[in-house]
Amino acid sequence: MPDPIERRPFGRTGHNSSFALFGAAALKNVDQSVADETLDVLLEYGVNHIDTAPRYGLAEDRIGPWMAGHRKDFFLATKTGERDGAAAREELHRSLERLRVDSVDLIQLHALYHPDHWDRAMGDDGALAALVDARKEGLVRHIGVTGHGWTIAAMHKRSLARFDFDSVLLPLNWVFYKNETYQQEFNEVLDLCRQRNIAVQTIKSIAKGPWAGREENYNTWYEPLDTQADIDRAVHWVQSFDNVFMNTVGDVTLLPKVLDAASRYTSQVPTDKDMDALQSESRQSSLFGLGV
């Protein structure tokens, strides 16, 4: 059996979550037997936090049957991509039905990076108001916000100024962090979250770059790093950030490699030189154009 992945306090929620959070986008188009086998792998590594969303294809439907026997062992998070209150409430109820649960531990505003969408979601009849009501009703325990792209750290600062979210989610890998503007804004979000005890989740840790016409041989919208050595460096570098979590890759065949890397983390953190070498050797590049 592998060593269990380290656990960290997930912000102010009172839950100690595994550093590696299972990103259920990996289940978006698999059958139930593959989903069950994949979810069982989480138990081998001590993963105790699942992050899903209605936009992840069949993921919520696949988690539901398995969750019946494991609900008490997992922090369960989902999202809503709706911006209007009524639609967000309806989507939450559909998620609860698919997941076969009475409540979730975390509901997140999904991919909230466009200013117009932000205004709608934060308005009087917006999605946020509906999620606050759902929390009062006991349908959700905590509320978070997520997003992609070069500007999301800045947008998260705006969101945290508007509402006291319990978690944020944004990209973190070496290519992103080398960009001076993104690094500064990411660090500002991280410092703010540490001060307010807000959980910080990260994505795209093993993203290599756009497929750019190459054969798409993994179930991810980007080309991932796929050798164990490269994944080790990428994962361990993210793992070196205190109080930060990593959502796993959206491909069931790569998931064991990512979990294996997280389970073998030591104090010997990859250096900047190591990460520059990884970028050069793998030709790792930006997912979102040239950056800011």
**What was the pLDDT predicted at 291?**
56
The residue ranges of DSSP E strands in 114-254, in sequence order, are 140-146, 167-171, 199-203, 207-209, 223-224, 244-247
Q: Which residues have C-beta within 8 Å of that of residue 250, sequence separation ≥ 6?
A: 23, 25, 26, 28, 219, 220, 221
Gap between the Cα atoms of 127 and 133, Å rounded: 10
- Residue 217 phi/psi, 5° resolution? -100, 10
**What was the pLDDT predicted at 111?**
97
Question: Structural domain of residue 90, as residue ranges?
Answer: 7-282
pLDDT tens column, 94-103:
999 999 999 9
Cα–Cα distances (Å) from 173 to 147, 203, 208, 237, 285, in that order, read 15, 8, 9, 8, 10
Domain assignment of residue 290, yes or no: no
Mean pLDDT of 62-89: 97
Sign of CA dihedral 62, 42, 248, 15: positive
CATH at residue 134: 3.20.20.100
**Number of domains comprising the chain:** 1
Domain assignment of residue 289, yes or no: no
Position of tokens 């590696």? 20
Select from 197, 196, 127, 185 the least CA-distant residue to 156: 185
Domain assignment of residue 23, yes or no: yes
Domain assignment of residue 82, yes or no: yes
Retrieve residue 143's tokens. 């509320």
Domain assignment of residue 288, yes or no: no
Domain assignment of residue 287, yes or no: no
**What was the pLDDT predicted at 292?**
47
Domain assignment of residue 97, yes or no: yes
Domain assignment of residue 76, yes or no: yes
- Mean of the per-residue pLDDT values of the chain: 96
Confidence of residue 1 (pLDDT cuts 50, 70, 90): confident
